[in-house]
């Protein structure tokens, strides 16, 4: 595991947990460019928003999202599968890297890996994932391509609670996006991502301010 503070991209010094109130603390998991992360970072400076990104963890040292975090002064860590002997060890390393930041909520935003039992033992029920389709339709890594190939006229995005399956967890919120004639995977995904970012910012803020209650498949904002 490599822990990288925002101001020293190559130093192995662990990030400081910081001082944001516990209920507001969010760790974001990224594998890609990090536009969803950027949207959360754009919202989090307003204290009324209620959520603050205190750490960003990636499975890829070259993830653009790490740069987005570092430019915003947010500490980052890389937990690359290749640095671990097997998947279970990687999963435990991921859980440990996230735990350092003491988050109330974890947000998987374009994180292209399935978390395992060690991660879920610490963060089940408080890890959200954003997915570019209207689940349960088109789970998996190629949701936009699969939706287009199926010929759907409406698709969208889903924020759901992470469980052990592939995009199977209880649904928190969804928004629809129309498929337009001539759409290809890139154009459709870009329109979905515009809607997805707004939905994710809304859900994460509400979850931090109001709390999230998961009862079976039912998810509501509020406290038990
Ligand atoms: C999002 O559409 C997410 O749902 C999918 O990958 C995309 C990530 O985008 N799994 P970004 O890295 O946040 O820009």
- Chain mean pLDDT for the chain: 93
- Does the C-beta of 196 come closer than 6 Å to ligand 1? yes
Q: How far is the CA of 110 from the centre of ligand 1 (A)?
A: 4
What pLDDT is attached to residue 169?
A: 98
How many structural domains does the chain have? 1
Give the predicted TM-score (pTM) of the model: 0.92
Q: Is it the case that residue 64 has pLDDT exceeding 60?
A: yes
Query: What band does 216 get if pLDDT is binned at 50, 70 and 90?
Result: very high
Q: Is it the case that residue 16 has pLDDT exceeding 60?
A: no
Q: Which atom of ligand 1 is nearest to the CA of 132?
A: 4
The catalytic site residues sit at 131
The CATH number for 69's domain is 3.40.50.170
Return d(Cα 79, Cα 67) in angstroms, integer.
Answer: 15
pLDDT tens, residue by residue, 174-188: 999 999 999 999 999
Q: Is it the case that residue 4 has pLDDT exceeding 50?
A: no
What pLDDT is attached to residue 21?
A: 84
- Do the domain assignments include residue 217? no
Output the residue whose Cα is nearest ligand 1's atom 9. 110
Query: DSSP secondary structure string, the chain?
Result: -EEE-TT-TT--PPPP---S-GGGEEEEEESS--HHHHHHHHHHTSGGG--EEEEEEES-TT-HHHHHHHHTT--EEE--GGGSSSHHHHHHHHHHHHHTT--SEEEEES--S---HHHHHHHTTSEEEEESS-TTSS-STTHHHHHHHHT-SEEEEEEEE--SSSS-SPEEEEEEEEPPTT--HHHHHHHHHHHHHHHHHHHHHHHHHH-EEEETTEEEES--
- Do the domain assignments include residue 92? yes
- Does the C-beta of 139 come closer than 6 Å to ligand 1? no
Q: Which atom of ligand 1 is nearest to the CA of 141?
A: 10
Mean pLDDT on 71-87: 98
- Do the domain assignments include residue 214? no
Containing structural domain, residue 22: 2-209
Ligand 1 pocket, mutate which of 66, 111, 130, 191 (most atoms under 8 A from CB)? 130
Q: Which atom of ligand 1 is nearest to the CA of 144?
A: 2
What pLDDT is attached to residue 18?
A: 58
Q: How far is the CA of 224 from the centre of ligand 1 (A)?
A: 31
Q: Which residue has the higher pLDDT, 169 or 20?
A: 169
Mean pLDDT on 110-135: 98
Mean pLDDT on 84-112: 98
């Amino acid at each position: 595991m490599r822990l990288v503070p925002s101001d020293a991209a190559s130093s192995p010094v662990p990030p400081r947990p910081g001082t944001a109130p516990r209920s507001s603390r969010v760790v974001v998991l990224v594998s890609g460019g990090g536009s969803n992360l950027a949207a959360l970072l754009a919202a989090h400076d307003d204290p009324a928003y209620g959520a603050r990104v205190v750490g960003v963890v990636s499975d890829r040292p070259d993830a653009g999202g790490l740069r987005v975090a570092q430019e915003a002064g947010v500490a980052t860590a890389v937990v690359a599968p290749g640095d671990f002997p097997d998947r279970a060890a990687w999963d435990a390393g991921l859980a440990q890297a996230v735990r350092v930041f003491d988050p109330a909520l974890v947000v998987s935003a374009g994180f292209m890996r399935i978390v395992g039992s060690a991660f879920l033992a610490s963060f089940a029920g408080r890890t959200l994932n954003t997915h570019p389709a209207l689940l349960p339709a088109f789970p998996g890594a190629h949701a936009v391509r699969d939706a287009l190939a199926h010929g759907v006229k409406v698709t969208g995005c889903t924020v759901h609670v992470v469980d052990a399956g592939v995009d199977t967890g209880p649904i928190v919120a969804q928004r629809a996006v129309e498929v337009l004639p001539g759409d290809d995977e890139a154009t459709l995904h870009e329109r979905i991502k515009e809607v997805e970012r707004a939905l994710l910012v809304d859900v994460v803020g509400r979850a931090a301010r109001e709390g999230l209650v998961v009862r079976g498949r039912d998810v509501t904002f509020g406290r038990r």
